[in-house]
Structure 1
Amino acid sequence: MHPALPPHTPSDDHPTGCWCAQDGACAPAGTPRSLWQARRAFLLLGGAATASATLPAWAQVDVGASSRLRHLVPAEELEQAAEQEYAKLLQEARSQGKLVPAGDAQTQRLQRIAQALIPHTAAWNERARQWQWSVALIRSNDINAFCMPGGKIAFFTGIIDKLRLSDDEIAMVMGHEMAHALREHSREQLAKNTATSLGISLGAQLLGLGDVGNYAARLGGQLLSLRFSRNDESDADLVGLEIAARAGYNPNAAVSLWEKMGNATGSNANGLAFLSTHPSGPERIRELQRNVPRVTGLYEAARRR
């Protein structure tokens, strides 16, 4: 933020008592200096966020820029909270004999697919270059998988076994979950949730009056229960589709995956944690079908390498 200069000599352009930054921006007379500085900092941050949230120049899918609300929650603190929550989850699974060993063929299968996808993630979020990516497989009948902020991935055996997922379909699930982390949907949702739970208006937070960042960073326990918006789900579908295609996985598998999800919904209402937060439906499948041709060339090029 540009530092503010002391009140200056009154003139037509600068009324008595106003504050100015070194770049010439002027606050109205009577505005408390701390409030003006906080508001100006947010506005400058917003401009930087818009620039950093632009899509990769070569992106084939059409998704909008990430929400600027996510900047109300510090990325580093949320990633640290996610790492701690992930470690607790794995420790609990290990103590119950449910953590599938790293040498197991299914775990190695997931790791192989993750290693193919990871090189294509940083274009969607520069922070991903520094993430310590991790993949775990947990024995559970639940149809579920997730990727926490910072690249912490977990699959439950139920989603692989019950849906009989191919490598291509696993890549679509994993790409979708990675996309949620890359597009920082948890960060945005926690900012919204925290504003509500603290009773602080977003307007007040934008002016620097709410401690939303520090509070939200302590809510790592909410990461596994967040429900994303329909736009977030569409966003993750398309970004994940492109990442997987660039890694050499057949984009048509996204369609067959969600057809299987739809069939699972109709046959059994139990153990569908994934579907409770990622509802299937005809429109979701139609949108994927419309976008498969956009990334087919990327898939074919990857297969030729």
Structure 2
Amino acid sequence: MGTAGAERKQFMMIPEKVWNAQSDKSYKRFVNQAKDKQVLVIDRKLDHVLENLKSEADVFRTGAKAWNWDIKGNLNGELNAHSLPGGKIIVNTGLYWGLKLNEDELAFVIAHEMAHSLRDHNREKASIMLASNVALLTATAGVGGIASAAASAASQTAMIPQGWNIEVEADLIGLDIMSRAGYNPDAAVKFWNKFQAESIRRKAYNVKPLMNDDLFAKRMANIEKNLPAMQVKYEQALAVKGQADRYTTQTIVKN
């Protein structure tokens, strides 16, 4: 792993191929249904940011840079984004249009979702759910049974107590990815402040917030604790980019 604090061992009970095959079907189904409902957003800005970020994927998982990464917008007002194994990401327009995110803030959102994919967090959560549900586990037989059980367990993963640790891990890895790719990690703090302010505004209209004040404070504290180290990586990335730009300029002038 490229990030300190993300080296923990993970419990994976569901086979990777089974989980990825099911996830690919889910993503294709989402894209087709979104097209039919005319809510699929193909945004060059999303593609541009993902293209910059995925160059750092191999630091966190060997071979991940070569994944078939893909990102789509979803015409949905909820302040949310989703990731699937293998580098498939969905970002609701309510999050990046509604909050008027700049490119650095959007980079944090996408890098956070990349972290979930790189660390197979959904498969991990579903594996824990399977292991903790004896009735479901004993009814499972063979690979096909595991796939069916995983589908049932996936819908319950939000109930797993370890969820907060996973989100903190995704924040940290996301910070590292964006910093290495030359995006300002300070944008993570600005993003969460925007997110929480809008969440509080919606609460006045009886819209249940996605994150309570205690969780918000814990995540912000974790980000701020790691910002100095990430700022160094960001400045190093800018220096490398500056050298590359100067070399390109000199080559053009000579030619």
TM-score, length-scaled by structure 1: 0.69
Q: Aligned partners of 2:63, 2:8: CA distance in 1, in Å?
A: 16
Matched, 1:82 2:23: yes
Residue 282 of structure 1 and its aligned partner are, at CA, apart by: 1.4
3-state DSSP of counterpart to 1:150: coil
Q: Which amino acid aligns with 1:302?
A: A
Matched, 1:93 2:26: no
Q: Which amino acid aligns with 2:232?
A: G
Residue 129 of structure 1 and its aligned partner are, at CA, apart by: 4.1
Matched, 1:66 2:9: yes
Structure 1 residues 199 and 189, CA gap change in structure 2 (3 angstroms): same
Q: Aligned partners of 2:207, 2:104: CA distance in 1, in Å?
A: 21
Whether the aligned pair in 2 keeps the contact of 1:66 and 1:183 (CA below 8 Å) is: no
Unaligned ranges ≥5, structure 2: 242-255
Structure 1 residues 196 and 210, CA gap change in structure 2 (3 angstroms): same
Q: Which amino acid aligns with 1:263?
A: A
In the other structure, the counterpart of 2:222 is 287
- Structure 1 residues 1-305: aligned runs within 5 Å: 55-56=1-2, 59=3, 61-67=4-10, 69-70=11-12, 72-100=13-41, 102=42, 107-199=43-135, 211=141, 214-218=144-148, 219-220=150-151, 226-227=157-158, 229-269=163-203, 275=210, 280-304=215-239, 305=241
Q: Which amino acid aligns with 2:50?
A: A
3-state DSSP of counterpart to 1:217: helix
Q: Aligned partners of 1:221, 1:113: CA distance in 2, in Å?
A: 33
Structure 1 residues 112 and 242, CA gap change in structure 2 (3 angstroms): same
- Larger CA Rg, structure 1 vs 2: 1
Q: Deviations over 1:183-211 (max 9, x none)?
A: 1111111112223445267xx9xxxx964
Residue 255 of structure 1 and its aligned partner are, at CA, apart by: 0.7
Q: Aligned partners of 2:38, 2:110: CA distance in 1, in Å?
A: 24
Whether the aligned pair in 2 keeps the contact of 1:85 and 1:220 (CA below 8 Å) is: no
Q: Aligned partners of 1:65, 1:300: CA distance in 2, in Å?
A: 28
Percent identity, aligned pairs only, is 27
Q: Cα RMSD between the aligned structures?
A: 2.9
Q: Aligned partners of 2:38, 2:152: CA distance in 1, in Å?
A: 22
Q: Aligned partners of 2:206, 2:87: CA distance in 1, in Å?
A: 24
Whether the aligned pair in 2 keeps the contact of 1:141 and 1:271 (CA below 8 Å) is: no
TM-score, length-scaled by structure 2: 0.81
Structure 1 residues 155 and 187, CA gap change in structure 2 (3 angstroms): same
Structure 1 residues 303 and 271, CA gap change in structure 2 (3 angstroms): farther
Q: Which amino acid aligns with 2:55?
A: P
Q: Aligned partners of 1:276, 1:216: CA distance in 2, in Å?
A: 31
Structure 1 residues 210 and 126, CA gap change in structure 2 (3 angstroms): farther
Whether the aligned pair in 2 keeps the contact of 1:99 and 1:139 (CA below 8 Å) is: yes
Residue 81 of structure 1 and its aligned partner are, at CA, apart by: 0.9
In the other structure, the counterpart of 1:30 is none
